[in-house]
């Protein structure tokens, strides 16, 4: 199954490269940072390139969340990336975070036969989405999943030979229970924003995909286009433009 997944990912990646070529989009591979409000400095295998632009979209993808205080050295505790590389099928799985990524994992492992439970700190799944849209989804999946806990958080995970025991706190908190545990992810763009901390920006706390306040991420919104932001993102990213100079 993992080989099939990798083959699908490979086909999709090649397909995107082909579409970019057909549309005469220049793709530059490298690590980029803002040199000015209208240009990027890109470190590539062929040296430094400078790219100018009128508008720039930062789309650096997502990054797995590592919740502090959990036994991450135990292979039974997984992040969203590890959960896609499982060599065996767990009988029970606890998903921490009822956001988009958490529910993606829950859907996959429920379909593969695992007994899935989801714990979400906020009052609904996919916090921030329209409740009228989320309610039909909640009603549908709660019939399939072992349990969905809202207004609840995982406070501690204990590792033992027989399994991982999760401890809960909140309105719907159950007794401690053992299961394979997976945690959701957060946006890479947010990480770039928090690392940048521009001098002329208003920092607005917004919810991460999994919406536990202890994992809130920081998005950056510029107060004025007249002020020059000093943003930098040192994560590898793909830049597209038809205006490139060396």
Would you state the pLDDT for residue 4?
78
- Say yes or no to pLDDT of 227 above 60: no
What's the average model confidence in pLDDT over 184-191? 48
Q: Beta strands 27-36 and 236-240: pairing type?
A: antiparallel
Higher pLDDT pick, 200 / 43: 43
Residue 16 pLDDT level (bands cut at 50, 70, 90): confident
Q: What percent of the chain has pLDDT over 90?
A: 40
Query: Within a 10 A sphere around the Cβ of 39, how many other Cβ atoms?
Result: 14
Distance between CA 63 and CA 114 in Å, rounded?
A: 25
pLDDT for residue 202 is more than 90: no
Two structure tokens written together for 65: 């969340």
pLDDT at 194 over 50: no
- Decide: pTM greater than 0.85: no
118 vs 103: CA distance, rounded Å: 8
Segment 40-57 shows an average pLDDT of: 93
pLDDT of 54 = 94
pLDDT of residue 17: 84
Mean local confidence (pLDDT), 119-142: 95
- Partner residues linked to 222 by β-bridges: 201
pLDDT in tens, 81-106: 888 887 788 889 999 999 988 999 89
Distance CA 164, CA 73 (A): 12
CA distances for 174 relative to 38, 119, 145, 168, 210, angstroms: 53, 10, 15, 7, 20
Q: 3-class secondary structure for the chain?
A: CHHHHHHHHHHHHHHHHHHHHHCCCCEEEEEEEEEECCEEEEEECCEEEEEECCCCCCCCCEEECCCCCCCCCCCCEECCCHHHCCCCCCCEEEEECCCHHHHHHHHHHHHCCCEEEEECCCCCCCCCCCHHHHHHHHHHHCCCCCEEECCEEEEEEEECCCCEEEEEEECCCCCCEECEEEECEEEHHHHHHHHHCCCCEEEEEECCCCCCHHHCEEEEEECCCCCCCCCCCCCEEEEECCCEEC
What's the CA gap between 129 and 86, in Å, rounded?
Answer: 30
Banded pLDDT at 184 (limits 50, 70, 90): low
Cα end-to-end span (Å), the chain: 44
């Amino acid at each position: 199954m993992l080989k099939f997944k990798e083959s699908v990912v490979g086909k999709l990646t090649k397909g995107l490269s082909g579409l970019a070529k057909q549309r005469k989009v220049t793709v530059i591979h490298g690590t980029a940072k803002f040199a000015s409000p209208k240009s990027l400095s890109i470190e590539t295998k062929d040296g430094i390139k400078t790219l100018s632009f009128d508008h720039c979209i930062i789309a650096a993808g997502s990054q797995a969340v590592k919740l502090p205080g959990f036994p991450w050295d135990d292979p039974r505790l997984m992040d969203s990336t590890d959960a896609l590389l499982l060599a065996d099928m767990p009988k029970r799985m606890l998903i921490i975070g009822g956001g988009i990524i958490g529910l993606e994992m829950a859907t996959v492992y429920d379909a593969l036969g695992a007994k899935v439970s989801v714990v979400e700190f906020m009052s609904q799944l996919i916090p921030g989405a329209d409740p009228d849209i989320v309610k039909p989804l909640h009603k549908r999946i709660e019939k399939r999943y072992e349990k969905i806990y809202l207004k609840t958080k995982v406070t501690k995970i204990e590792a033992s030979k027989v399994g991982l025991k999760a401890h809960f706190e909140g309105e719907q908190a159950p007794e401690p229970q053992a299961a394979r545990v997976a945690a959701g992810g957060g946006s890479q763009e947010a990480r770039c924003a928090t690392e940048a901390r521009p001098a002329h920006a208003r920092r607005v706390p917004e919810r991460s995909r999994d919406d536990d306040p202890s994992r809130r991420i920081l998005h950056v919104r510029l107060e004025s286009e007249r002020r020059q932001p000093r943003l930098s993102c040192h994560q590898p990213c793909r830049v597209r433009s038809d205006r490139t100079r060396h």
